[in-house]
């Protein structure tokens, strides 16, 4: 196996005294996990940071072996998170979810645009919106997406207001009114591609995505939901635009 790609560092584990097992999230090959030998020194300290954008040369003699990686820094995007606790928590959540949920050596295709937007727009005032888009479309990429096209009770496409936690389908305002305390709010801003929703809309969306990630991915695979993602939920309510 031999290829080159570029992406973002999402996990680092020390291996021996001076080497790393590195995970890079790329567009064409999904998660790439490999050895980086003899890289832990002062010269490379700024390179091997969560969130940095890097180029990787990947090589292994046999496809079933963990490859060796040669890494070159493209952009020190990690610095954009360092001085802000909320952004740093979002980065931790992004890395944890991506590391657990996304496949190795599989093209991420159009989903990767939401990865790029999260990193490229992290200094914007509405940066958390781009994280929310990432989570929403992560559910879709995993094949456990929601059906928000019409009301599951009446079939109408008008006045959609809620999402059922039981079915993952939309519910119109009239049908959902008696049960609204048990339903999630319909994410209108996502369907309208609105990059400037209210904080309350973002908080509602992330409550819903956390629920469906747990229900449809983490629980069936007997996986623990990342604590960093749980921490992020508390931060959202304190954000202002």
Overall fold of domain 81-236: de novo design (two linked rop proteins) (1.20.1440)
CA 147 to chain CA mean position, Å: 20
pLDDT per residue, tens digit, the chain (241 aa), is 899 999 999 999 999 889 999 999 999 999 999 999 998 888 888 999 999 999 999 998 877 778 999 999 999 999 999 999 999 999 999 999 999 999 999 999 999 999 999 999 999 999 999 999 999 999 999 998 899 999 999 999 999 999 999 999 999 999 999 999 999 999 999 999 999 999 899 999 999 999 999 999 999 999 999 999 988 877 877 776 6
CATH class of 2-78: mainly beta
Domain ranges of the chain: 2-78, 81-236
Reported pTM: 0.93
CA quadruple 148, 150, 153, 159: dihedral, nearest 10: 100
């Amino acid at each position: 196996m031999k290829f080159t790609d570029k992406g973002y560092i999402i996990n680092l584990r020390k291996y021996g005294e001076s080497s790393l097992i590195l995970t890079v999230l790329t567009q064409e090959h999904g998660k790439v996990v490999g050895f980086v030998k003899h890289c832990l020194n002062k010269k490379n300290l700024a390179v091997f940071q969560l969130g940095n954008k890097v180029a990787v040369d990947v090589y292994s003699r046999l496809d079933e072996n963990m490859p060796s990686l040669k890494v070159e820094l493209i952009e020190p995007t990690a610095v954009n998170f360092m001085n802000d606790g909320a952004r740093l928590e979002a980065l931790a959540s992004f890395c944890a979810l991506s590391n657990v949920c996304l496949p190795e050596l599989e093209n991420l295709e159009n989903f990767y645009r939401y990865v790029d937007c999260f990193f490229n727009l992290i200094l914007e005032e509405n940066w958390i919106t781009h994280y929310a888009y990432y989570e929403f479309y992560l559910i879709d990429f995993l094949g456990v997406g929601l059906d928000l096209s019409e009301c599951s009770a009446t079939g109408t496409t008008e006045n959609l207001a809620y999402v059922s936690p039981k079915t993952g389908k939309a519910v119109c305002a009239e049908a959902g009114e008696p049960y609204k305390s048990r339903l999630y709010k319909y994410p209108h801003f996502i369907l309208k591609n609105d990059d400037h929703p209210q904080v309350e809309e973002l908080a509602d969306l992330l409550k819903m995505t956390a629920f469906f990630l747990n229900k449809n991915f983490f629980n069936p695979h007997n996986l623990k939901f990342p604590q960093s993602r749980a921490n992020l939920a508390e931060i959202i309510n304190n954000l202002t635009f």
